[in-house]
């Protein structure tokens, strides 16, 4: 059973036990436009909450993706390197960015559920 | 996001309402609210322009008529030559030429198009510079010319391989025009100024139309299924692939035309030994750059990887250490090349095609090569 949470910076996290899968929201991709490049963190990197973890680039601009919580990077989505446009076509599915080990579950308390995120982007 | 007051203080072009109705995403640009993209998005708009035809609102640009008080066009041409290093006298009636206003240090105040309309010169200048350009013209040329700001005209660019066919339906003269032909022509019965030129590297036209008729003309052109509206985002990626300079980025008051690799735009008559050598602001420095070379040069840059290298990225000779040798002035992703493209300034010694360089992006040195421009072959109808 996974729970999906959201940040005010438009990242989503699917929580499964002590592992979080992180990506950017469909709203975020619609604002960015056509994604042409994604830079992902190295596996094993210890991310601190709110630090720049990944970069997503459209034709026009580069945007940082922040670590929504603290934890170690376990795996990254290699498909995004060859097909960055997946971020536009399936932001909250196939275009996940990285999986991380949740260092401190209490950090999840500050995140939004789907209803709160919908209100945030309304 | 912009505060409401900022949105309201932005100037609107005559096509503002049309942009909104087409779903344009409006952003501030040079004091105007302009569409950065439409719902199709930058990538599709870019590719559509290269494959079919794109319509651009460039009404924010300045249109200025330079009318000789004597009635003799050569007097206006000679006067303008006091401000630009180009041969203006040699522009034949019905023709247009690319030019730069220079400053006393040899830098570039603005770049512009100058057309000979028979009894006057017609200038198109950058939006951000137009007030300063007009003041510059008034301060320096009022003795011989009437400087007439054509603020009541819109400017529409129609670019791409299907631009000629699209315009031909409304303007019988269009197909016979060649690259850089320019003059008054009727378009859809309206008194327009048409030039066969643009800012995309594609064949195409720029159409100056009375502001009151601009929306009707734009809508008529957009009724053609081959024509799609294109925002500033794709305008930038198109001109970057075409290797064309963006004023304020690739050229500015600190770059001479020689450093900017714009020697082709300065005719021999204005260079050392020419019939009218010098006589423009900064001539001493610019001619010295022609005669002895400049120490740095604008070059095209291609990355080896897929990460875009953007404006401001520092350039290095090696993969680690050393001081920066230059800087990227424009860069991004080229949709037609499906690869990153950039331009920037490097020492002339490192400006040869194929020279390997590195750009620092987010703390990493990415390998680049000096590459020929345009990156995408232009398709001008010569």
DSSP string, B55-103: EEE-TTSEEEEEEETTS-HHHHHHHHTTT-SS--TT--TTBEEEEEEE-
What is the predicted pLDDT for the residue at B94? 98
Which of B189, B150, B165, B121 minimizes the C-alpha distance to B62? B150
pLDDT of B3 over the 50 cut? no
pLDDT of B211 over the 50 cut? yes
State how far the Cα of B113 lies from the Cα of B208, in Å rounded to an integer: 13
State how far the Cα of B146 lies from the Cα of B148, in Å rounded to an integer: 6
State how far the Cα of B77 lies from the Cα of B99, in Å rounded to an integer: 12
Give CA separation, A66 vs A22, A44, A49, A62, B364, in Å. Answer: 10, 16, 8, 13, 19
What is the predicted pLDDT for the residue at B6? 55
Give CA separation, B374 vs A104, B132, B314, B320, in Å. Answer: 52, 30, 22, 30
pLDDT of B89 over the 90 cut? yes
A110 touches chain B (CB under 8 A): no
Residues ≥6 apart with Cβ < 8 Å to B126: B30, B61, B62, B110, B111, B112, B133, B247, B248
Q: Which tokens belong to B196?
A: 């066969």
pLDDT of B359 over the 60 cut? yes
Residue A8: other Cβ atoms inside 10 A: 13
Domain parsing of chain B, residue ranges = 4-57+152-241, 295-382
Give CA separation, B86 vs B116, B140, B276, B330, B362, in Å. Answer: 13, 17, 10, 25, 41
Residue B197: other Cβ atoms inside 10 A: 22
pLDDT band per the 50, 70, 90 thresholds, residue B281: very high
Q: Where are the beta strands (DSSP E) in chain B?
A: 25-29, 32-37, 53-57, 62-68, 96-102, 108-116, 121-125, 145-149, 153-159, 182-187, 190-195, 204-210, 227-229, 296-303, 314-316, 326-334, 339-347, 356-361, 364-371
Cβ contact, residue pair B333, A36, below 8 Å: yes
Cβ contact, residue pair A59, B237, below 8 Å: yes
Q: What is the CATH number of domain B4-57+152-241?
A: 3.30.1360.120
Which segments in chain A show pLDDT lower than 70?
A: 1
What is the predicted pLDDT for the residue at B1? 39
Q: What backbone torsions phi and psi does residue B138 show, to the nearest 5 degrees?
A: -65, -45
pLDDT tens for each residue of B315-347: 999 999 999 999 999 999 999 999 999 999 999
Cβ contact, residue pair A62, B308, below 8 Å: yes
Report how far Cα B363 is from the mean position of its chain's Cα atoms: 32
For B283, the enclosing helix (H) or strand (E) is helix B283-292
Cβ contact, residue pair B42, A36, below 8 Å: no
State how far the Cα of A70 lies from the Cα of B242, in Å rounded to an integer: 44
Residue of B nearest to A80 (CA): B306
pLDDT tens for each residue of B144-161: 999 999 999 999 999 999
Q: Of A33, A37, A39, which is closest to B42 when you measure between CB atoms?
A: A33
Angle at B28 between CA B22 and CA B32, to 5 degrees: 80
pLDDT band per the 50, 70, 90 thresholds, residue B307: very high
What is the predicted pLDDT for the residue at A60? 84
pLDDT band per the 50, 70, 90 thresholds, residue B7: low
Q: Could you check whether the bond before residue B374 is cis, i.e. omega within 30 degrees of 0? A: yes
Answer for the pair B329, B229: CB distance below 8 angstroms, yes or no: no
Q: Which tokens belong to B151?
A: 């603020």
Rg (CA), chain A: 13
A66 touches chain B (CB under 8 A): no
State how far the Cα of B264 lies from the Cα of B268, in Å rounded to an integer: 9
A64 touches chain B (CB under 8 A): no
* ipTM exceeding 0.95, yes/no: no
State how far the Cα of A105 lies from the Cα of A119, in Å rounded to an integer: 24
Q: What is the CATH number of domain A3-105?
A: 2.40.50.100
Residue of B nearest to A58 (CA): B333
Q: What average pLDDT does range B29-50 have in this prediction? A: 97
Q: Which tokens belong to B258?
A: 């020689």
pLDDT of B83 over the 70 cut? yes
Torsion of CA B307, B313, B314, B316, to 10 degrees: 10
Give CA separation, B164 vs B28, B53, B182, B190, B306, in Å. Answer: 31, 9, 14, 18, 34
pLDDT of B258 over the 60 cut? yes
Distance from CA of A118 to the nearest CA of B (A): 18
Residues ≥6 apart with Cβ < 8 Å to B85: B99, B100, B102, B257, B266, B270, B280, B283, B286
Place of tokens 């959201």: A6
State how far the Cα of B162 lies from the Cα of B171, in Å rounded to an integer: 14
- Residues of chain B contacting A58 with CB distance shorter than 8 Å: 42, 333
pLDDT band per the 50, 70, 90 thresholds, residue B295: very high
Distance from CA of B379 to the nearest CA of A (A): 23
Residue of A nearest to B25 (CA): A31
A107 touches chain B (CB under 8 A): no
SS3 A110: helix
Q: Which tokens belong to B149?
A: 């700001």
Q: Of B43, B233, B310, which is closest to A62 when you measure between CB atoms?
A: B310
Q: What average pLDDT does range B57-76 have in this prediction? A: 98
Pick B74 or B304 by higher pLDDT. Answer: B74
Q: Where are the beta strands (DSSP E) in B106-258?
A: 108-116, 121-125, 145-149, 153-159, 182-187, 190-195, 204-210, 227-229
Q: What backbone torsions phi and psi does residue A71 show, to the nearest 5 degrees?
A: 155, 170
Give CA separation, A95 vs A40, A90, A98, B4, B151, in Å. Answer: 12, 6, 9, 35, 48
Q: What is the CATH number of domain B295-382?
A: 2.40.30.110
Q: What average pLDDT does range B368-377 have in this prediction? A: 98
Cβ contact, residue pair A36, B43, below 8 Å: yes
Q: Of B37, B340, B362, which is closest to A33 when you measure between CB atoms?
A: B37
For B131, the enclosing helix (H) or strand (E) is helix B130-141
What value does the mean pLDDT of chain B take? 97
pLDDT of B165 over the 70 cut? yes
State how far the Cα of A47 lies from the Cα of B97, in Å rounded to an integer: 55
């Amino acid at each position: 059973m996974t729970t999906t949470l959201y940040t005010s910076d438009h990242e989503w996290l699917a929580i499964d036990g002590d592992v979080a899968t992180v990506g950017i929201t469909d709203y975020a991709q619609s604002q960015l436009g056509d994604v042409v490049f994604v830079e992902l963190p190295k596996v094993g990197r210890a991310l601190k909450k709110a630090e720049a973890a990944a970069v997503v680039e459209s034709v026009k601009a580069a945007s940082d993706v922040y670590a929504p919580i603290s934890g170690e990077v376990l795996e990254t989505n290699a498909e995004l390197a060859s097909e960055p446009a997946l971020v536009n076509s399936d932001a909250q599915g196939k275009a996940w960015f990285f999986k991380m080990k949740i260092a401190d579950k209490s950090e999840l308390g500050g995140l939004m559920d789907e209803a709160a995120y919908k209100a945030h982007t309304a | 996001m912009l505060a409401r007051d900022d949105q309201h203080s932005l100037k609107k072009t005559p096509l503002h309402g049309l942009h909104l109705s087409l779903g344009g995403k409006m952003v501030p640009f040079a004091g105007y609210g302009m569409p950065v993209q439409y719902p199709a998005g930058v990538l599709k708009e870019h590719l559509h322009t290269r494959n079919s035809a794109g319509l651009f609102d460039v009404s924010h640009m300045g249109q200025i008529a330079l009318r000789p008080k004597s009635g003799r066009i050569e007097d206006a041409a000679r006067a303008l030559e006091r401000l630009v290093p180009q041969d203006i006298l040699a522009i034949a009636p019905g023709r247009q030429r690319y030019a730069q206003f220079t400053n006393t240090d040899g830098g570039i105040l603005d770049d512009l198009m100058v057309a000979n309309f028979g009894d006057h010169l017609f200038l198109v200048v950058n939006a951000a510079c137009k007030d300063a350009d007009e003041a510059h013209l008034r301060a320096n040329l009022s003795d011989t010319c009437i400087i007439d700001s054509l603020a009541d005209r819109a400017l529409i660019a129609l670019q791409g391989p299907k631009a000629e066919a699209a315009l031909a339906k409304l303007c019988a003269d269009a197909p016979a025009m060649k690259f850089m032909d320019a003059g008054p022509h009727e378009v859809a019965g309206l008194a327009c100024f048409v030039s066969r030129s643009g800012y995309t590297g594609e064949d195409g036209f720029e159409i100056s139309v009375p502001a009151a008729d601009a929306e009707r003309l734009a809508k008529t052109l957009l009724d053609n299924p081959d024509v799609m509206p294109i925002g500033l985002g794709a305008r930038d990626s198109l001109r970057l692939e075409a290797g064309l300079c963006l004023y304020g980025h690739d050229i500015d008051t600190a770059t001479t035309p020689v450093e900017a690799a714009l020697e082709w735009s300065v005719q021999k008559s204005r260079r050392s030994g020419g019939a009218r050598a010098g006589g423009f602001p900064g001539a001493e420095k610019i001619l010295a750059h022609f005669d002895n070379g400049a120490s740095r040069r604008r070059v095209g840059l291609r990355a080896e990887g897929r990460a875009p290298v953007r404006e401001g990225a520092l350039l290095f000779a090696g993969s680690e250490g050393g001081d920066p040798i230059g800087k990227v002035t424009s860069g991004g992703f080229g949709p037609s090349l499906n690869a990153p493209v950039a331009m920037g300034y490097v020492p002339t010694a490192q400006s040869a095609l194929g020279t390997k360089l590195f750009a620092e992006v987010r703390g990493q040195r990415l390998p680049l090569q000096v590459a020929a421009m345009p990156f995408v072959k232009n398709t001008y109808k010569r």
